[in-house]
Each structure stands twice: as structure tokens, then as C-alpha cells.
Structure 1
Amino acid sequence: MYALLALLAFGLLLAVHEMGHLVAARLLGLRVPRFSLGFGPPLLSFQLFGTEYVIAAIPLGASATVHGMNPHAMGLEADAKSYSAQRPWRRVLVTLAGSLANYLLALGILFALYTSGTHVVVPLTVGTVVPGSEAARAQLLPGDRILSVDGQPTKSWSDFVAIIARSPGQERTLVVAREEDTRVVQVHPRADERGVGRIGVSQQYVFREHGSREALAQALLHTRRVAIEGVNLLLRMVRGPDPLEEPTSSVTVMRQSSDAASSGWDSFLRVLVTLSVALAWVHLLPVPGLDGGRLVFLAIESIRGKPVSPRVETLTHTLGFLAITGAILAVAVAEVRRALPSPQTPPPVSGALPLPPPSPDAGEATRRELAGDGGLAAPPAPAPPAPDAGTAAVPGTKPDGGPLPVDGGAANTG
């Protein structure tokens, strides 16, 4: 049910992207003969301002047919309302409008969440301590703020998690602030089932409403952080998997979407933000068949002073589209193989609990680490803690009940 909801939401984001192209083209005076929502046999169609709007049987994705984008159409040179007859800068605006629409949608959702009130992380502050864990043995308490690890100042909760994850069985010295005092404690991270170090703590949350100006500033920072995390995710995929991370995959992202949807619309909207920003940036990649590939041809045209041969452009976009389709099929095959049971995989231990899903606001498709400052995060649904693992953060406040600063981070367990 929730996977279907996430899939439909992704289709909605694609429709928003194409609607951006349509609106930009119409504002610049270009003709848009057809806009189709979904694909397959048409169920409903109507005319509006010279554009035929079609609702198809399968409500996934959309397409906007801008007159003149196909360089092989007849009579384009004599038609002043065609895409190919426009100056390069006007065509750039139409091409960028899809990604801009996705970005503005994400920004609007975040602005609404911040102004209406939502849970935000308290930077570098302990929210829960698992009984019997290393953190409990070190007498860490909710509300303690992590200042440094082994003498090195901690910049974010994700940095703290990364240090702990890479040091199972090693002693780490933490400097924590508790109210007005500073304490020095030693912890010995325990290895979980994947060999990742854990001490049994999670970050703290607080529910807060923001004013309009602050909400806009936080939304801008949030989308910026999501974009940075997307770049880092792409670099990790190129660099190769981290043995301390769950393998990154499209199913991981979909699973996070489903888990977030099950914990409420607030969390699901955050996932929608992440997907919308990711979709905006993916379309801008300089790959033929995407908006970024079309921008490359426009740049070449501006440098040469004349357009690229329509045959060359069409062939390049076709090859790019086939490459993208092949990549999608390869990912699908890899996901099917990943889903098949492996004879070498040991059966699950009775009574063991899975790691809780992380907050999806930072845009990273892993369960271990979500980096960033100044963002909001969705507290996962509460679950009984595992004896030696971190637990999901729950909303909290400072011990004295006072207001808490909003500086960001994400749900991570250490």
C-alpha cells in the first residue's frame, strides 16, 4: 500500500516537472499542442487555451509536447511560436523550467512544514540512551551535548556517528556538556551484526513552529543540504560501497519512502521533498536524453553560432535514452537478485529487532548516516530498543524545559 503511494507520488513529481516546461513555454508564447498525465490509453481529454490535456489509464509520469522540440518537424523555421525558432536563452528557460518546478515544489512543502510546526533535531544532543548499553555504562543522559571525540570537536551528529561506527572495541573519550558542567567520559563501542560500532544513543528532537522569514531560510538550507547529499551519494556510488554502510539502491529509497509514509503524512512529505530535489538535479545531468543533455547542445550552438545538425542531435538523444533505459533495467535486475534469498545468508536470530529507518529529510538513501545542519527530521515510530543497538530518536526538550536551538542534523544512532 505504502510502496504504491510512494510510486504514485514519484509520478506526481514527474508531472510537476513536465508542467514546469508547459508553463514556461506558454509564458514565452510557444505552442504546446498536448500535455499528457500518465501513459497508456487515454481516459479523458479536453482542450484548454490551445493545449489538449489528456489523462491516461496509467497515472505514472507525464509528458508535455512543446512544438518545435522535435527538430525533424516540418515548417519549424516559418513558425515563430516553435521551440526551435526561439533564441538560445529562451530555449534555456524552457528547458530549465522543469527542474525549477520540482525545486519550488520542494521549497513550498518545506515552508509549510516549518510554519505549521514540525519536529526538528537538536544539534549534537543525546535524545535517548539504551539501558545496558555502553552509553548507559558511561552514565550519558538525555540532554547531554557532545562537544568532542578524542579531543577533536564534533561538527555534526553524523560525524559523531561515523567516528563511533568505525571504532568497535576501541576506547573513545567524549567531552559532553550537561547543563552548566562539562564532563569527560570513556566509551567502548560495541559491534552490531554488521560490525558497525554502536554505543546506544540517538539524537534529540523538539517540536517547533517557525515564523515565515525563519521558515523560508530553513527551507532554503534544507534543499541545499539535500542537493549536497545527493552529490555525495553519487560520489559514493562511483567510489564503491562502504563496508560500514547498507548498500545503496533504489529499493532502499523506496523502502524509506514507505516507512516514512507509515509514520505519518509529515514524514512522507519530507521524503517527497527529497525525491523532488533529486529529480530536479538528475534532469540537469549533462546526459543526452535529459534536460542537461539538451542544455549541452544549446551551449554548443551558442559557441558555434549555429545549431547542431538535427540528425546528430536526434541520434545522440536516442542513444542517451537507450543508455538510460539500459541502466534502469540493470538496476531492476540487480534489485531482483538482491531480493532473492541467498543460501549463504544465515537465518535471522529470534527476537532480534531491525535497525529503525532513518529520517529521510537529508536526502541520503542509507540507514546509517544522514549529514547536514539546520534541517528538520522525522522521528521514526517508537519501537522496543535492542540490547546493544541505538534506538530511534523521540521528541525531547532540554532538561530545564527551555527553548532549544535549531541547527540541524538527522536521526542517527551511535
Structure 2
Amino acid sequence: MNTVIAFVLIFGALVFFHELGHLLLAKRAGILCREFAIGFGPKILSFKKNETIYTIRLLPIGGFVRMAGEDPEMIEVKPGYHVGLLPGKDGKIEKIIINNKEKYPEARIVEVEKADLEHGMFITGFEEGEEEALQRFEISEHSFFIMDGQEVQIAPYNRQFASKTLGQRAAAIFAGPFMNFILAFVVLFFLGLFQGSPVDEPKLGELTKNGTAIHSGLKEGDVVESINGKTVSSWKDVVDIIRSSPDKELSFKINRSGKDLSVKVVPESFKAGDQTIGRIGAYNPVEKGFFTAVKYGATETFNVTKEIILGLGKLITGQFSIKMLSGPVGIYDVTDKVAQSGIENLFRWAAMLSINLGIVNLLPLPALDGGRLLFFAVEAVRGRPIDRQKEGMVHFIGFALLMLLMLVVTWNDIQRLFLLK
């Protein structure tokens, strides 16, 4: 149960901050955001604040921000329709009633002759009882359809995604993955702030209770000067020698409070994948401080990003098999193991997943944020956007292929974790 909670919280946080990036930049550009959703499928919780409906949906496999103009409007007003019109205090129409008009006796019933609810924001038509006089009704910029008793805000063209500049649209899309990098940095920053930031010095940090280091007489704070006569100048040097010497006696020359001492230590052997390495139960030294934590957060975010990109490069070149990819099932299994190793490692794992989500979404593949940014780049070169229907078809096909890949990866996870055990 703890693993389930940890998985849901981590995955939910990654999706939340990703979609929050889209939402904030879209709203800043003046785009009408109809819905901010975590998950897909049926709604299990929803509330409305200002113009946006915030929802949590049943399937926790992603999220979305529904921006006006990205999808065809579901409600249209065409010539010949009979609609009810309710004016606001300024005389402009604030509500257009599509059906069940009898529930609104104060509404003015109009047979539509022409409607422009994007650019001109008007309806012309004949009001009941005055069929001979064609009238023009101005529509408010903040108006609503009422259909089946539900209000749906009308989106003038200047509130739609496509009306914004190329830079504004690109920023709204890029903000999602960018927020994942920001989230990872913040998590790692706080780890560095409270746990301390590792420093590359040949100095012993905290010692484990049952490690060979503490049993051999080493103490936290000892400065390692040499091992078996080999001078060491960094924590990496110390680790490399220990890892390569399982069950072999090592002579540590240390400096403790200004005194030089010699200590014999035998690293215990430890199985790490296909290798047997040595360890003595000593952590590297740490420093605490605001600016040290900032540096640690930025450095670790960069290093993890680099490693993931190199891994993707191996996948493209064939050095990395698709069978080694993990989907939700595999991620859940790793989360279970990491959760058992401590809260600190769980936060590090969350930061790595956040970076991974950001990088994957920036890949120039249809249906991903990177695919949309690629279309924007083409638009910048051409000087005009690609036909929306063609772009939509490309994204639809890309989404279908991604779902197929997800099924393959999930099946591989199930085989690896259950069927092959």
C-alpha cells in the first residue's frame, strides 16, 4: 500500500507540474483554458475556478490542458437555428441558450440569419413577434452557451490558441517539459539543503553501523591521504580503490585531527549486477548551505539529463534494446524497491523520473510536445502554419503508435516481472 501511495503521489506530481507549465503560459498569453485534467477517462472529481474546470480522471496515465481552438468547438450556431438570448447589464448578449429554452422565459427567442462568434461577435436574426425586422445582437467577449443546463464559455478568436504569436504558442507548449526540469531541480535542491551536498574530497562522511570501516577503527571526518601507498586526492579515488578490492586488505593512511594514523581495512564483497565490488560502509562527505544546495541541484539535474540523453542515443543506434525500456508496470516495480531504501532515495528517483518525462516530451515525435514544437519550427521557416487538419492527422497517427509502443513496453514489463520469475 505504501508503494501504491508513493507511486500515485510521484506520478501525479510529475503530471501536475507538467500540465501546470502549459496552463500558466497559456493563461499568460490570454488563451482560454477550458480544462486542466490529471488523468484520462471518466471524471472522478472536478471543480471550476474562474474560466477553467479542474478535474481528476480515472486513469492516472497522463493529463492535459484543453485550450480553446485546439479542437473544433462542440457547439455551433447556424442559420435557421432558434436560440434564446439573455443580455447582460451592458446590453450585450451574455448567454446563448441552445435547447430547453422554455426554462428561460425571460430569454429573447431568435431565428438566426447569421452568426459570427469568433471575429465579429454578433448574431443577426428575427425575434419572435417581430419577424419582419432583421436585428443585430452584439455578443459579449465573456459570453456562454447554455446547453442541457450546462454553461460553456464562448471563445472569441483572440482567446484561441491559433490566434497567438508563434512565440507565445511555442512557450505554452515548451513550458510543460520545462516545468519537469524545474521540479527536478527543486527536489534535488531541497535534498542538498537538508541532507547536505556531496563534495569530492578524500574525507570520510557518515559511517554505517555494521560496515567494515567503523569496525576497523575509521571515524567520520578522517581525511584519507593514501591507500596501499597510493596517494588519493578525491572521494572518487577512494571509491575506485575500494570497489576494485573486495575481500582484500587495504592500508589506509589517514589524518585525524592533525595526527597521521594507519588503519587496516578489508572491504566486504557486494554483488552489483554482474560485478562483485568492494564496500566499507562509508558515505562521501557532505556540505550544507543554500548556495551549495543550489549548485548541487543544478549539477545533478544536468548530469541526469546527460545520462538520459546518452541512453536515448544508444536506443537509436541499436546499442540499447527496446526490451530494456520500462512502462508504468516497470516504474512501479522500481519505485517499490527504491521506497524500501529510504525517503531520500525516493525523492532522488522522483527527480530522475521528472527529468525523464521532460526529455521524452521534447522528442520531435507526433503527439508529444516536441512534435508540436517541430511543427512550429516548420511554420517559422515557411512563414505560415501547416494545415491544421494535416497536422492533426499526423498527431493522431503518432498518438496511436505511442499507445502501441506503450502496450509493447508494458507487456515486456509483465513478462520480466511476473511471467519469467
Length-normalised TM-score, structure 1: 0.64
Question: How many matched pairs?
Answer: 333
Aligned to 1:406: none
Deviation at 1:21, TM superposition (A): 0.8
Deviation at 1:304, TM superposition (A): 0.6
**CA–CA separation in structure 2 for the residues paired with 1:289 and 1:149:** 57
Q: Does 1:2 align with 2:2?
A: yes
Selected match of 1:332 from 410, 416, 420: 410
Name the CA shift for 1:175/1:71 in 2 (closer, same or farther; >3 Å): farther
Q: Is the 8 A contact 1:34 1:51 kept in 2?
A: yes
Name the CA shift for 1:229/1:215 in 2 (closer, same or farther; >3 Å): same
Percentage identity across aligned positions? 27
Deviation at 1:314, TM superposition (A): 1.5
Q: Does 1:65 align with 2:78?
A: no
Deviations 1:333-391 (A, max 9, x none): 1112212465xx8xxxxxxxxxxxxxxxxxxxxxxxxxxxxxxxxxxxxxxxxxxxxxx
Name the CA shift for 1:235/1:174 in 2 (closer, same or farther; >3 Å): farther
Aligned to 1:240: 319
**CA–CA separation in structure 2 for the residues paired with 1:253 and 1:147:** 41
Query: How do 1:224-373 and structure 2 match up within 5 A?
Result: 224-238=302-316, 240=319, 249=326, 253-340=331-418, 342=420
Deviation at 1:91, TM superposition (A): 0.6
Aligned to 1:53: 54
Query: How do 1:91-130 and structure 2 match up within 5 A?
Result: 91-115=169-193, 117-123=194-200, 125=203
Question: Aligned-residue CA RMSD in angstroms?
Answer: 4.4
**CA–CA separation in structure 1 for the residues paired with 2:196 and 2:338:** 14
Q: Does 1:19 align with 2:98?
A: no
Deviation at 1:330, TM superposition (A): 1.4
SS in 2 for 1:29: coil
**CA–CA separation in structure 2 for the residues paired with 1:194 and 1:331:** 22
Deviation at 1:305, TM superposition (A): 0.7
**CA–CA separation in structure 2 for the residues paired with 1:193 and 1:221:** 25
Deviations 1:102-123 (A, max 9, x none): 22223333333333x2154353
Deviation at 1:254, TM superposition (A): 3.7
Deviation at 1:24, TM superposition (A): 1.1
Aligned to 2:84: none
**CA–CA separation in structure 2 for the residues paired with 1:85 and 1:234:** 35
Question: Which protein has the larger Cα radius of gyration, Structure 1 or Structure 2?
Answer: 2
Name the CA shift for 1:266/1:294 in 2 (closer, same or farther; >3 Å): same
Q: Is the 8 A contact 1:6 1:254 kept in 2?
A: no
Deviations 1:74-106 (A, max 9, x none): 889841111111111111110111122222223
Q: Does 1:196 align with 2:275?
A: yes
Aligned to 1:350: none
**CA–CA separation in structure 2 for the residues paired with 1:147 and 1:68:** 67
**CA–CA separation in structure 1 for the residues paired with 2:251 and 2:392:** 60
Deviations 1:237-296 (A, max 9, x none): 555369xxxx67456654443334345544433322222222122211111111011000
Deviation at 1:164, TM superposition (A): 7.7
Residue identity matched to 2:49 = L
In proportion to residue count, which structure has more strand? Answer: 2
Structure 2 spans left out of the alignment, 5+ residues:
77-115, 120-156
Deviation at 1:331, TM superposition (A): 1.2
Aligned to 1:83: 161
Structure 1 spans left out of the alignment, 5+ residues:
346-414
**CA–CA separation in structure 1 for the residues paired with 2:289 and 2:60:** 35
